[in-house]
Each structure stands twice: as C-alpha cells, then as structure tokens.
Structure 1
Amino acid sequence: MNVVETLPSRPDWLDVLIQRATRADGQPPFSDGSLVELATGARELLVIGDVAAALVRDGEAEFVVDPDARRHGHGTALLEELLSRSPRLLVWAHGDHKAARALAASHGLTAVRELLQLRVSGVDFDTAVDGLLNQQSRSSRSLSDRIETFRPGSDEGTWLELNARAFAAHPEQGAVTRADLDVLMAEPWFDADDLLLLRDGETLLGYCWLKVEHGIGEFYVVGVSPDRQGEGIGRRLVEAGLSRLAERGIRVSSLYVEADNEPALRLYRSFGFDDYAVDVQYATA
C-alpha cells in the first residue's frame, strides 16, 4: 500500500535511495539546500516505506521514488499527500523527465521556473583555462583586489552578510543561515581552500565557492556585492575558480543558473559552459 508517513529523523536508507535515483536519472533527486534544511530541522521528511521520500517546507517540495519501485503509484500518492497539505504547492523535478512532466500535468501543475545545469569539460575546459593564462582580465587590471581563501572561525559572518545581500531576491540562496553554513562546512566535500573570497582592501566584493566531488568541480555559488555589479567582478571570480580547479587537476566543471538570468548565462557561456540538464519547478494554478 502507498501509505505516506512522516519520519522525525533522517533514516540510513535515504542515502541509498538518493544514490540509486542519481545513478538512474543522471542527477540527484534533492538539492543540497533541501538536505541542509532536513539536517537543521527546517524541512519535513515524508516517506512511503523505504522506496519513496519527499522533503517539504512551507508549500515547497522535492520527492523521489526508487527506480525499481516506479510505476506503482508511489509518486502519485506522495504528490496527492503534498497537495492535501498545501493546495498552493511548488514542486521541483530535477531533470526534465517525461514521467515528471506527465505526473505534473495529470494534477494540474504547470512549469513556472527552470534551473539550467551547464558544463564545460575536456578540451573546452583546457581552452578556457589557457585563455586565463594568456591574458589578464580587464577586471583584474582595474581592481586593487586580492583573492584569498575562506578562514573557518573568522569569515563566516562576513560571508553570510554578503551572501544575504547578493541573493536578497533569491528564494533559496538568500535565506542561508549560520546553521545552514555549519552543516555545509561539515560535509565531506567541503574544503576551505575552495571557497575563494575577493577583497578590495578590507571590503569583501564577492566569492566563488567550489564543490569538488566525483571528479567534477562545481561552481557551487558565485556571489557579487550588489554595490559593485557591472565591474567585471563576476568574471574575475569565475577565472579564479577555473584556475583553482585546474590546479587540482579537475577538467570537468558544472554550475546551476536560472534560465532567465541572461547576464549570468552570457558570462558562463563566454567560458565555454554549455547546456547539460534542466530542473523544472511546477506549481498549482
């Protein structure tokens, strides 16, 4: 039976479910942000046995069904439970999969937001890095800046303040708290040397946070002070990130960007990043 239950804590089998779904679908079923909120208690966990799970917060959700248990009504049961709790619902489908589109359409949900995953790899990655070595960017010539690495125990407050301002209009990134940051810093992939800070004197202008895992160097977040937009700081940070990845021997890089963020898309595409996958957020009418 498709009985939906609420669990008070994260079960061990959830990691196995995430791994199995990731292998089958080509990308993870839950965002890092949702898993962080589950760890801090800000997000609720709904399950059907050990074959389906949903992470829920304030009418926004993500859910997954084990690849071997699909087409048995588990996804429908989870979605209908979510709709019964929040008639005005937002649901992420990580990957523009046919089954997700069909389930959304059958319950009157429509696509309202797209998050693109871009990648650059192999020869294109090498070409981007070679370009950095052969010419100095305009931004680095115009700023008396310096790239430093994050100092745990010292830079948390400064980073949180800039992140909140840089992503004030972003529903997820702009809401990162100290508790969230602590969870992320405890992740096995976290390396303070991969969180690059750009300063002009004592002022933090921006940051480039890299996540290196499974041979892929993800531009996890790139943030720029709203007061300094349009000065080439974003380009300077991407350059620094690519250089750092090259130093580590990484030749595949990825990132997520809102599909309607044209300035960011132009910047990343200028470094050779191209479309790889898409996440779609669906909403009730």
Structure 2
Amino acid sequence: MTPAAVDLVETDASAAGALLDPFDEQTALDVAAGRRALFALRKTQGGSAAGSAVLGAGALDLFVAPEFRAAGLGGAAAARLLERAGAGPLTAWSHEDHPAARALAARFGFTAVRTLLQLRLELLGLDTPPAAATRPSGILFTSFRPGVDDAEWVALNARVFAWHPEQGSTTAADLAERQAEPWFRADDFLVARDDDGAMIGYNWLKIEPDGPTMSTGEIYVIGVAPEAAGKGLGRSLMDAGLARLRELGCTAAELYVEADNASAVHLYRSLGFRDHRVHVQYARV
C-alpha cells in the first residue's frame, strides 16, 4: 500500500468522539487545548474511520483498528504523518509493545528509548494495613486543598520528578486542567505534611466517574520529597491510597511506572502489583 492510499482527515476536538479513545489522557488534553492535531485515518475518501492519529509538539500517536491491521495501513499512515511532521526529533508510543509497531519503528528510523510498565493489583480480599500503622512519626495525612496547595504541590512535584520528561514539567496550568476534569476529587488527592506543615509527599488517586462499575482505581501520581525518601513514607502513602480505593468500592488498582525506576518498581511489586501491560516509547533524533 502506498501513502496515497490513506486519507488523513484533520478533526476538530469538539467532534473527536471515539477517535481519542485509544490514546492517553495527556494526548486528549493536548488535542482539546489545540496543542496537537487529531486525524481520522480512512482507507478511501469519505469512508469510515479505520484508525486515528495525533501529531504535534514533537510527538506522534497512531492507532489502527484491529480489523484494518496487517494490510499496510499503519505504514502508509505513518509515512504520511512523518511527511507532515518534517525533520527533527520526534517520539512515538507503542502501547502494549506490539510487534507491528516495532517493525514500523525500525522501518522509519526510530529506536526504543523508554519502557513504561502498567501494573495492577486485585483489591478483593487484600488486607490493607491502616495508614496510621505504617505512617512515619510526625507525619500528617490530609486532603489536597484546591487554590491553596497548588503552587506548593507544583514545586514539590518538580523536585520529585526532576528526572522525568513529562511529570517533572507539570505546570500550574496543567494542574488546573486536571482539576477541571470530571474525575477530579480533592478528597482523593492525599497529601503528607511534616510537623512544620510542609508538604513532603502525596498520592493522587484517579477514579473515572463514567466507568461501568468504577471497579478500577488508578494511583495517578505518587511522590515523596527527596529529603523524606527512604523512611517508609512512600509505602504509607500507598497503603492510604489503596485503603481509599477500597473504601470507594474499587476492586482493583493500577498504576504506571518507568521500568528503570528500580526502587518504585520494587515497592509496588512488594505490595502485590503484577504486570498488566507494557508500553514502549520510540524516538527519532
């Protein structure tokens, strides 16, 4: 199949519909804010969508519906999208590390640069210890206060994730975007403070309100200040978060973690989290 056999139809975010479903939250937010462009992939002009793609801000996301795979559509679409992107650095995620994505990456000169693990823990029957039982002495757990804690959290998050290409660059505007999402609840954003009242850790939970049973809750982002690390605070925050998810009726918890973050992976596995999916990011320099 040649690139000309694929029709790329740029789509306004207000009419995105299911085109954004295959992509992550940040991609959807970027499209809604106009930072990246959304395309429907069609085999013929005016035909039904066979996939979707998002391009812009140095990143490419491409999805081909299962019934249209193994027919050259992915390669044809990638060629068209890369032509639009032009030369220069570009990243692309392969969700679930699909062999076809590996082949496309090699074909277009991309190399694997990151591996993201999606881990899951079944909560039914799990004996979660009370957070107070594992909480370090002198630490208080409270809920996040929108409009009061924003700047302090953004500064702490930047220190915790100074090494991370996305999380460490989260801004006040990014935080505000997420607080405007239907799933945001301040009571599900746990904050740890020392005896001076300074924020030294957090466990932000995400439970989608429109799920069929809200059965799976996410440890959306968890962090501990560098000076407070290694004292059990991370485990205590996890215990508190898992207890909160159970309280809300969730039967499973999931989280995402960089595969090379050895200390975090060790903590999560020690709590019983197991591999669910693997995602690989490729880059072209």
Could you report, residue by residue, the CA deviation over 1:171-222 in whole angstroms, capped at 9, with x for unpaired residues? Answer: 1111222222222112222111111111113100111011113310110100
1:187 equivalent in structure 2: 181
Show the counterpart of 1:16. 18
Deviations 1:39-94 (A, max 9, x none): 23333334435443322333222221233443444422332234332453221011
Residue 206 of structure 1: aligned partner: 201
Task: State the partner residue of 1:237.
Answer: 237
CA–CA distance in 1 between the matches of 2:73 and 2:170? 31
TM-score, with structure 1 as normaliser: 0.84
Equivalent residue, structure 2, for 1:118 = 119
Determine the structure 2 residue equivalent to 1:2: 6
Cα deviation per residue 1:201-247 (whole Å; 9 max; x = unaligned)? 31001110111133101101001112322222211211110111111
1: CA distance, partners of 2:30 / 2:163: 19
Q: Provide closer, same or farther for how the CA distance between residues 199 and 47 of structure 1 changes in structure 2, counting only shifts above 3 A.
A: same
Indicate conservation of the 8 Å contact 2:131/2:239, yes or no: no
Partner residue of 2:55?
Answer: 56
Distance 1:268 1:48, change over 3 A: same
Tell me, in whole angstroms, the C-alpha distance in 2 between the residues paired with 1:78 and 1:165: 39
Identity fraction in percent: 43
Structure 1 contact 34–55 (Cα < 8 Å) conserved: yes
Q: 2:107 is matched with which residue?
A: 106
1:170 alignment counterpart? 164
The answer on 1:38 being equivalent to 2:48 is: no
> Which amino acid counterpart does residue 198 of structure 2 have in structure 1?
T
| Residue 95 (structure 1) shift | 1.2
After the TM superposition, which parts of structure 1 deviate over 6 Å for at least 4 consecutive aligned residues?
A: none
Q: Which residue number in structure 1 is paired with residue 265 of structure 2?
A: 265
Give SS of 1:196's match: strand
What RMSD in Å do the two structures reach over aligned CA positions?
A: 2.3
Q: Which amino acid aligns with 1:62?
A: D
Match of 1:94 in 2: 95
C-alpha contact 1:40 1:180 (8 A) present in aligned 2 = no
What letter matches 1:283 in structure 2? A
Q: Are the equivalent residues in 2 in contact too, given 1:82–1:89 (CA < 8 A)?
A: no
Q: CA deviation at 1:134?
A: 10
Q: 1:263 is aligned with what amino acid?
A: S
Give yes or no for contact 2:123–2:253 (8 Å, CA) kept in 1: no
Helix, strand or coil at the partner of 2:231: coil
- Contact 2:204–2:222 at 8 Å: present in 1 too? yes
CA distance in 2, matches of 1:221, 1:254: 11
Give unmatched runs, 5+ long, in structure 2. 43-48
Name stretches of at least 5 consecutive residues in structure 1 with no aligned partner: 20-28
Counterpart for residue 77 of structure 2:
78
What is the distance in 2 between the residues matched to 1:116 and 1:10?
A: 29
Does structure 1 conserve the Cα–Cα contact (< 8 Å) formed by 2:130 and 2:239?
Answer: no
Q: Secondary structure at the match of 1:4?
A: strand
2:143 to 146, 149, 166: 149
Kindly tell me: are residues 53 and 86 of structure 1, through their superposed partners in 2, closer, same or farther at Cα, counting changes over 3 Å? farther
Question: CA, structure 1 residues 248+207, in 2 after alignment: closer, same or farther (shift >3 Å)?
Answer: same
Q: Counterpart in 2 of 1:24?
A: none
Distance, in Å, in 2 between the alignment partners of 1:265 and 1:63 is: 28
> Structure 1 stretch 267-276 or stretch 168-177: which is displaced more?
168-177
Of 206-215 and 105-114, more deviation after overlay is shown by 105-114
Amino acid across the alignment from 1:63? L
User: Does the 8 Å CA contact 1:17/1:66 hold for their aligned counterparts?
Assistant: no
